[in-house]
Amino acid sequence: MPSSAEIAAKYDNIILLPQTNQLLGLYSIIRDSQTRRPDFVFYADRIIRLLVEEGLNHLPVEPKTITTPTGLPYDGLDFQGKICGVSIVRAGESMEQGLRECCRSVRIGKILIQRDEETALPKLFYEKLPEDISDRYVFLLDPMLATGGSAMMAVEVLLSRNVMPERIFFLNLLAAPEGIETFQEKFPQIKIITGGIDEKLDEHKFIVPGLGDFGDRYYCI
């Protein structure tokens, strides 16, 4: 079975967090079925913060020289463009605070997509996005990329609001190879920033070995 790094290397726009001992230790905690909800939330939030920080690394910058308290110049950088977070409700909302902690006064939008019980296909129920979203870089937030159906519908909503695909960054904690392939085939210009790529989807379209239902573990259990 190919490793996460080998799967990510097949695509130009898949950014996999460095698989350090720290990161693998965090995933070992949140994957454990015995981990209590407070610990799950705490350690999932740490991973979310790492994802947001990696996303910020891919925003455009320009040179900027400032003067330090010693009176000397420092040649640094200045971020270009405004940011907006868009969460796919409900699990995606768990990632909003991590974005706020890294970006002060960041705008947040929401998209609600649920599976139609008759067709088993994703259906758009609600969207609330900033009016100027087409002028922003968008961090699309959803912890799990399984089949990719909800994420692709969310991207369609963003594109309909004139967001350029190269300005969209899809952040998730865990992805399935099937979802990555489907998503990248349809939206090759959009970067996926993920913390881990698992083995596959099972017959019920759950990521395995996975970590269970992220939303339930984060909010309920």
Q: Hey, how many other C-beta atoms are within 10 angstroms of the C-beta on 102?
A: 17
Q: Looking at the domain 4-61+79-219, which fold is it? A: Rossmann fold (3.40.50)
Span 32-38, average pLDDT: 96
Higher pLDDT, 17 or 122: 17
**Is 70 considered catalytic here?**
no
**Is 119 considered catalytic here?**
yes
Q: What's the predicted TM-score (pTM) here?
A: 0.93
pLDDT tens-digit series, residues 59-102: 999 999 999 999 999 999 998 889 999 999 989 999 999 999 99
Residues near 19 by Cβ (< 8 Å), separated by ≥ 6? Answer: 4, 5, 196
Higher pLDDT, 25 or 119: 25
**Is 115 considered catalytic here?**
yes
Whole-angstrom distance, CA of residue 26 vs CA of residue 112: 28
Which DSSP symbol is given to 165?
G
Amino acid letter for position 148: G
Which of 65, 67, 68, 119 is flagged as catalytic?
119
Q: Helices 177-186 and 149-160, interaxial angle, to 10°?
A: 20
Q: What secondary structure does DSSP assign to 79-145, as a single string?
A: E-SEEEEEEEETGGGGGHHHHHHHSTT-EEEEEEEEE-TTT-SEEEEEEE--TTGGGEEEEEE-SEE
pLDDT tens-digit series, residues 168-205: 999 999 999 999 999 999 999 999 999 999 999 999 88
Which of 31, 90, 182, 213 is flagged as catalytic?
213
Residue 118 exposed, middle or buried by CB count within 10 Å (0-12, 13-18, 19+)? exposed
| The Cα angle at residue 101 between residues 161 and 13, in degrees rounded to 5 | 50
Amino acid letter for position 112: L
| Residue 14 three-state SS | strand
Average pLDDT, the chain: 93
Contacts 24+ apart (CB under 8 A), 154-161: 154/86, 154/88, 154/111, 154/113, 155/187, 155/190, 157/111, 157/124, 157/127, 157/129, 158/86, 158/129, 158/133, 161/129, 161/133, 161/134
Please give the distance of CA 198 from its chain centroid, rounded to a whole number.
15
Give residue 7's pLDDT. Answer: 84
Share of the chain above pLDDT 70, in %: 97
- Strands 122-128 and 144-145, bridge-based pairing: unpaired
Which of 115, 116, 132, 202 is flagged as catalytic?
115
